[in-house]
A and B are shown apart, each in its own frame.
Chain A
Amino acid sequence: MKAIKAIYNFIVGDMVILVGVIITMLALALINFVGALSPLRIATGAILVVAVLVVLTATLYREIRG
């Protein structure tokens, strides 16, 4: 448990960033590997940029609220 916490703190140390990036990657994986969502593939880059900005804003918002 201590080792996992140390790795978490070393790589990110912020739950909002970690969860946000994981959700984004899962969404992009679905878009890119599920046939029905293939029309969205062209927007992969835009979705990723927007998601990164949303995650950054969310973690800053949590910081000023917390």
Chain B
Amino acid sequence: MQWAIATAAFLASAVEFVEAFTIVLVVGVTINWRSSLLGAFAAAATLAIIVATLGVALVKWVPINDFRLAVGIILILFGLKWLKKAILRYSGLKALHDEEAIFEETVAEIRARGETVAPRFQPFGVALSYKSVLLEGLEVAFIVITFGSSISTSVGGNGILSAAIGATVAGILVIAAGAIIQAPLSKVPENTLKFIVGIMLTSFGTFWAAEGFGYTWPLSDAFIPILIAIYLLASYILVSWLKQYKRRQLASAANASASTPEQEGVRP
């Protein structure tokens, strides 16, 4: 069992499954649970097939250095995307992901279409649930494949299996929590999870991309925690800088609004 890989896959999956669960819940509440669960399970099966086929094919057919380089680049791209969103949300420049608002919005959309609670399978409900789980899960599937297969090729063992276990456990936990609460999982610290995953993807991506060019890191694999520390420190500095920027913007906006009535007052 590769714990770092399983943890990264678990955290990434938890974020994405919480987002997908909101839509599954909407379909379950507004149409029916049969359609909602059928769509969700069909999407989960599709994702499992993608991971099993693509993951194994990549490990078998692509030369290790080219593979590491490609995986490294993809992980850096994914990692920076997640990190950017998380940093903007931490600094208050972007609104936090609001599951309850998304829930209400989607319920309104479905009701506006004229869909009502029905006892039988509703194709629209199945499709909506399938689409949401598949779209949110695709990114996780990519992380599972790239992370897992890169470990499989470098240190042996079954990295894809470790990553798949991490993702599955996250899925089960989200479904169980959702089944108990029967409401959008708004208490899950999505941004913190996103931030941790962003740091991990960027660190591993940097490590493997450089190795793909034939570079050997000092201390070998032990350099990964150093990369994580570097990116954590940089993120902390960036969040502080953005918070200061936001405070300055608010202060200048307040000054501008305070000076406007005075200017108006001296006008004849």
Contact = CB atoms under 8 A, between A and B. Distances in A.
Interface of A: 10-14, 17-18, 21, 25, 28-29, 32, 41, 44-45, 48-49, 52-53, 55-57, 59-60, 63-64
DSSP majority for the A interface?
helix
Nearest to A55: B80
A32 B202 CA distance: 21
A60 B238 contact: yes
Given A12-B81, A45-B215, A60-B84, A21 B242 contact: no
A32 B84 contact: no
B27 to A, nearest CB: 23
B245 interface: yes
Given A52-B202, A60-B242, A64-B242, A17 B84 contact: yes
Contacts of A13: 81
Interface in B209-260: 209-210, 213-215, 217-218, 223, 227, 230-231, 234, 238, 242, 245
Contacts, number: 76
A21 B231 CA distance: 16
A49 B139 CA distance: 24
A63 B88 contact: yes
B82 to A, nearest CB: 11
Given A11-B77, A14-B81, A28-B213, A56 B238 contact: yes
Most buried by A among B139, B223, B238: B238
B87 interface: yes
Contact of A45 (B202, B210, B234): B210
A59 B81 CA distance: 10
A29 B210 CA distance: 10
Contacts of B209: 25, 28, 48
B139 A52 contact: no
25 contacts: A11-B77, A12-B80, A12-B81, A13-B81, A14-B80, A17-B81, A18-B77, A21-B80, A28-B210, A28-B213, A44-B213, A44-B215, A45-B215, A48-B206, A49-B206, A49-B230, A52-B206, A53-B234, A56-B84, A56-B234, A56-B238, A57-B238, A60-B84, A60-B88, A60-B238
B78 A11 contact: yes
Interface of B: 73-74, 76-78, 80-81, 83-84, 87-88, 93, 138-139, 202, 206, 209-210, 213-215, 217-218, 223, 227, 230-231, 234, 238, 242, 245
Contacts of A44: 210, 213, 215
Given A11-B74, A60-B87, 8 more contacts: A12-B81, A17-B84, A29-B213, A32-B214, A56-B234, A60-B88, A60-B238, A64-B93
A41 B73 contact: no
A25 B238 contact: no
A10 B138 contact: yes
Contacts of B227: 49
A27 to B, nearest CB: 11
Given A21-B76, A25-B73, A10 B84 contact: no
Contacts of B74: 11
Nearest to B202: A52
